[in-house]
């Protein structure tokens, strides 16, 4: 059976980028499925790169939700016994150590080809970069830890709320030298892929 999640008060709406990141912190720590789902933009993309700049993990909105909170059918069926990532771990620690913030101007990101994932010519995005620490444990005390640079790109939607449109996992510091992997460590993408396979592009 999925591990029960304690009830908490509703989080404030993400009317600022800062509140959005606060809500992400809360959704992860509380394993709050409903809150997590509200944080992601309909054009959300998760990517993880290796030290050579190659994408090693990728998923879109629906895949992300399937992994973290469960499939749409499971989310609509309260009696489902299928476990998502938030169900597997009874203890979840998440800390985002902010380092840099900048604005990604739409005028500098035109569409260079049809479906260009980096294009947003009509709007500016806010970008937050820093280090994310996670620790997740199941009811037996087994689990994973993450210490990884990550970047969040957020956009202001038509409902007046900020949402995460890009979640980028950056290479681990010291993971490469002369193009070769020098160390092994768990990344957020690896953990999600271990439990629920994620297609690499």
Please list, in sequence order, all residues whose beta carbon lies within 8 angstroms of the beta carbon of residue 59, skipping any fewer than 6 positions away: 45, 46, 67, 192, 198, 199
Q: Which CATH architecture has domain 17-195?
A: Roll (3.10)
Which pTM was predicted? 0.86
Neighbours of 173 (CB within 10 A): 13
Residue whose C-alpha is closest to residue 179's, from 51, 39, 14, 90: 51
Residue whose C-alpha is closest to residue 136's, from 83, 194, 198, 191: 191
Residue whose C-alpha is closest to residue 37's, from 49, 28, 29: 28
18-22, 138-142, 144-148, 180-184: which range is least confident on average?
Answer: 180-184
- Distance of alpha carbon 23 from the chain centroid: 12
pLDDT above 70 coverage of the chain, percent: 82
For residues 87 and 136, what is the distance between their CA atoms, to the nearest angstrom?
Answer: 11
For residues 148 and 186, what is the distance between their CA atoms, to the nearest angstrom?
Answer: 9
Query: Across residues 158-176, what is the average pLDDT?
Result: 85
- Distance of alpha carbon 15 from the chain centroid: 19
Query: Across residues 41-50, what is the average pLDDT?
Result: 94
Q: Where are the domains of the chain?
A: 17-195
């Amino acid at each position: 059976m999925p591990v029960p999640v304690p009830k908490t008060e509703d989080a404030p709406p993400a009317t600022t980028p800062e509140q959005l990141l606060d809500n992400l912190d809360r959704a992860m720590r509380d394993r709050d499925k409903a809150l997590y789902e509200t944080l992601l933009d309909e054009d959300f993309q998760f990517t993880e790169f290796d030290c050579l700049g190659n994408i090693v993990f990728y998923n879109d909105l629906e895949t992300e939700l399937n992994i973290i909170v469960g499939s749409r059918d499971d989310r609509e069926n309260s009696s489902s016994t299928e476990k998502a990532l938030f169900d597997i771990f009874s203890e979840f620690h998440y800390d985002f150590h902010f380092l840099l913030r900048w604005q990604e101007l739409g005028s500098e990101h035109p569409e260079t080809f049809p479906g260009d994932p980096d294009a947003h010519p009509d709007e500016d995005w806010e970008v937050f970069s820093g280090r994310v620490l996670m620790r997740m444990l199941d009811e037996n005390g087994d689990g994973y830890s993450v210490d990884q640079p990550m970047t969040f790109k957020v956009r202001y939607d038509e409902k007046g709320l900020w949402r995460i449109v890009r979640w980028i996992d950056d290479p681990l510091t010291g993971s490469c030298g002369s193009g070769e992997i020098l160390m092994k460590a768990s990344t957020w993408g690896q953990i999600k892929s271990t439990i629920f396979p994620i297609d690499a592009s």
